[in-house]
Amino acid sequence: MIKLLFVSSCSACFEWDNDLSYYCDNFVVTLNGVAVKEGNTNVFSLFGLSPDTDYVLGVSGYDFTLPFKTESETVCVSAYSFGAKGDGVTEDTAFLQTAINCLPKGGRLQLKKGVYLTAPLTLKSDITLELCEGAVILGVTDEARYPIIPGEVKDEYLDNYLQCGSWEGIPQSMHQALIFGAHAENVNIVGEGVIDGNAQNSSWWINVKARKIGRPRLVFLNDCKNITFHGITGQNAASWQFHPYFSEDISFYGITVNAPKVSPNTDGLDPESCDKVNIIGCHFSVGDDCIAIKSGKSYIAKKYKRPANNHVIRNCLMENGHGAITLGSEMSAGVKNLTVNRCLFVQTDRGLRIKTRRGRGKYAVIDGVVFENIKMENVLTPIVINMYYYCCDPDRYSEYVWSREKLPVDDGTPYLGSFCFKNMVCDNCHVAAAYIDGLPEQPIKEVTVENLTFNFAENPKSGVPSMATGVKKCCKKGMYLNNVKTLTVKNIVFSGVSGEEIIAENIGKINRG
């Protein structure tokens, strides 16, 4: 009934095994027979546990127990022992970084209740950073305190480059993230505390398009392995909140990610060219895409061939973003084997959003994508697959990008493979049920839609369903599909559609259940 997702020396995360989307019935958790927590979400956590200790988890009213044991550790020390004040006024950067540097392998740095004002901090391998309830890591507002990291640096002796910084899919100089990790392994950042970029009180969100240097992320991980974030809240980053880059085995369990809806480019979580990323039981409310899976632009793809691979997103709540889950548009190395299950999307512009375009290249392959057991409420357009995306590039409005003619397949042509959408209920839709738009020279290989329900709002908003040149505003449009080789349709229910329920153009083969 319940499985253990993650355990550290001081915390544990669990998941109900059911078919519900994010929420479940109310329950009371017991630990060693004592009631310790109430909950109503499929993923829940316990904090403040003792290291190297046996526990038995139970749920009141259920004949069920789950024994587990916390991890051992070498030492646990308080940031206060290194001189940190935690008063929100005195800068604690040197004290916190010294404490991190002093930790032995398997050590834990504990940030107790307090506001720790700091410039960027650098992680190191084999440690745990615990943010207790009431602890806040608060970024300083002075831009000069965030060092500039070059995009890539040439090896002095070999014909090679070290990748250091990134901005929207290319190696580009960027300010150091508030929490920065490079080539680090085996790190846990856990607890009920907050990492706050403090951008709302700074100048980071002003005149963003005029900036020549990339704004800092809240958390940036470059070439890291086995990093876990559990329970913490991340908020108010200058740009993206969490950005794992060229990393593997990165997990996010039960975290919360916040940014004002009007804040610029404040994506929640953008794993880029990463392998094996778990995003489970997380809650997002941000100013751009909640989750955006990426793999760089053409230069990165050709040089390193690092696709986004084997990602799992489950039991998450996405609110207020442009897209709940987005693939691209910087995905020139491809996205493969993505599973999204049991999620809830509320008031996002788009639900499941895939964006690519001519020029992303022959390695820009998206394949093996499954979305299942999804609920959406008040989402403008639930499903969007767009192969004419017109943002983020100098040639965004060029004929090469927007042309509806069948152009030659060349080294710039992306490929979309298999997509499966099953068991979804979308209530109070507005613009369109789905807008799936492939290229004439490279149609989408296969789209399966099964057991989907689209109910439109009584007073819907009109809008553009897909960010592509020539796409017109609409309202209460059904499911539109264009340039798909094989379409499988089974048990699709519409309520309140204006016009045809399914508009299928240039479809090679249609299978109807």
Cα separation, 397 vs 14, in Å, equals: 47
- Distance, C-alpha 413 to centroid of its chain: 26
Q: Catalytic residue at 288? A: yes
3-state per-residue secondary structure call for 394-455: CCCCCHHHHCCCCCCCCCCCCEECEEEEEEEEEEEECCEEEEEECCCCCCEEEEEEEEEEEE
3-state secondary structure of 122: strand
- Distance, C-alpha 247 to centroid of its chain: 14
Cα separation, 39 vs 348, in Å, equals: 25
Cα separation, 417 vs 90, in Å, equals: 54
Residue type, 468: A
Report yes or no: 267 and 285 within 8 Å, Cβ to Cβ. no
- Judge if the upstream peptide bond of residue 329 is cis by omega within 30 degrees of 0: yes
Residue type, 180: F
Cα separation, 456 vs 493, in Å, equals: 11
Q: Catalytic: which of 243, 283, 322, 430?
A: 322
Q: Catalytic: which of 92, 288, 349, 437?
A: 288
Residue 124 is encoded by which pair of tokens?
């190191």
Q: Catalytic residue at 322? A: yes
Report yes or no: 86 and 92 within 8 Å, Cβ to Cβ. yes
Active site residues: 288, 322
